[in-house]
Structure 1
Amino acid sequence: MSEPEVYVNYRKYDGSLHWNLRMQRLGEDEHGVWLGLPADSVMRKGDGPEIPCPEAHVILFPRQGWWTAAFNAAPRRTEIYCDITTPPQWLSPTEVTMIDLDLDVIRKRGEPTPLLVDEDEFAEHQVRYGYPADVIEQAAGAAQWLMKQVGDGAEPFATTYRGWLAQVE
């Protein structure tokens, strides 16, 4: 791919580095910016060691919205993994960052119904990090919206992502 690498930096509310990786810019559509990572790549949690990513995946960064969405190639059991985050901020064409707000909406491969996970972590971090009321409200609203969109098979959660994923598989 000739597109430049993009640094993807998820942070926690206190600013500490959380999940971070380098991905290839694939393009944009009406849903946002799509980045891809081929199979057998790596990512990191904070400053920790590299963690292998055996399956290819793409991440969608919406232009507006309190979330990001990863779409994983088979055989990974989790097909869709949406992180509830602050709206992604592009610091430059080669760096995007957002604050991970703990809640996740996932859909397992072959399952029609999404799951809302990490509600306990969200509650714990509201106290630890002192999330303001508007952040709690936006995060909860984004989680509810994603549960409906993913559950209803709305785009980009139905088929749109497959074309982007095909570019890195």
Structure 2
Amino acid sequence: MSDADDRPIASAPHRVPGEPVRVRATKWLERPHWAFDGVWLGADAHGDWVGFPAGTAFARPGHGFTATWDSVSLFPRAGWAAAFNAGHPRGLGTYVDLATAPEWRADAAGSTVSYVDLDLDVVERAGAPAFIDDEDEFAEHALEFGYPPELVARVRADADAVLAAVQRREPPFDGATAAAWLARLAGLRPAEE
């Protein structure tokens, strides 16, 4: 593969649904954070969708877990990445990481999507209103790691906009959009014998 082929791109390389995707989230200054594997489901007007069936292992330094529920993630061409869970044991429905715009790279095993997690999250649990989480962590890290002022302003504005979209049930936060991608994930499973 040439060097030009290894450059990051804004959206997933054209793939076949079911092909592997490695998700790699770091914190500012390339500090390791979450890494996990899923399958590419497709793309729509909102961005690229990746599925994570029950049994997916999620890991970060010092912590890991294996999901007992299905989830799908949306990687838009914007500064956030959203996870939508089906049957989460603690009722976590929507979880949006405010981040740098996700970048994609093709590789021999599939694709890798990476982004820098910038602390703020929009969270919605069953029976509770959506809210912005980790405000204190964001403020601390902005000072400690020297987030540029324009980045701080952009992340804050993005968090407010995403929260409003979740509260208003705008697509892709309308329930139906994620449900369609969760159904596509279920359709990729081999038929049980």
Same fold, TM-score > 0.5, yes or no = yes
Residue 107 (str. 1) matches residue 120 (str. 2):
no
Residue 19 (str. 1) matches residue 48 (str. 2):
no
Decide whether aligned partners of structure 1 residues 2 and 82 sit closer, same or farther in structure 2, where only a CA change above 3 A counts.
closer
Amino acid at match of 1:90: W
User: Whole-Å Cα distance in 2 between the matches of residues 50 and 9 of structure 1?
Assistant: 14
Give the deviation of 1:156 after TM superposition: 0.5
Give the deviation of 1:168 after TM superposition: 2.9
User: Whole-Å Cα distance in 2 between the matches of residues 2 and 164 of structure 1?
Assistant: 11
Is contact 2:38-2:56 (8 Å) kept?
no
User: Whole-Å Cα distance in 2 between the matches of residues 54 and 105 of structure 1?
Assistant: 22
Decide whether aligned partners of structure 1 residues 2 and 90 sit closer, same or farther in structure 2, where only a CA change above 3 A counts.
closer
Amino acid at match of 1:29: D
Residue 149 (str. 1) matches residue 165 (str. 2):
yes
Kindly provide the CA deviation profile for residues 97-120 of structure 1, in whole angstroms up to 9, marking residues without a partner as x: 110000000111233x31110000
Is contact 2:21-2:38 (8 Å) kept?
yes
Q: Which has the higher helix share?
A: 2
Q: Tell me, which stretches of 5 or more residues in structure 1 are unaligned?
A: none
3-state secondary structure, aligned to 1:94: strand
Give the deviation of 1:2 after TM superposition: 6.0
Measured on the aligned residues, the alpha-carbon RMSD in Å equals 1.6
User: Whole-Å Cα distance in 2 between the matches of residues 121 and 108 of structure 1?
Assistant: 21
The number of aligned residues is 166
User: Whole-Å Cα distance in 2 between the matches of residues 91 and 150 of structure 1?
Assistant: 29
User: Whole-Å Cα distance in 1 between the matches of residues 76 and 104 of structure 2?
Assistant: 11
Give the deviation of 1:148 after TM superposition: 0.5
Kindly provide the CA deviation profile for residues 139-168 of structure 1, in whole angstroms up to 9, marking residues without a partner as x: 101100011000000001012110101233
Structure 2 residue aligned with 1:74: 87
Residue 87 (str. 1) matches residue 101 (str. 2):
yes
In percent, how many aligned pairs have the same letter? 35
3-state secondary structure, aligned to 1:6: strand
Kindly provide the CA deviation profile for residues 44-65 of structure 1, in whole angstroms up to 9, marking residues without a partner as x: 013x4642111110000002x1
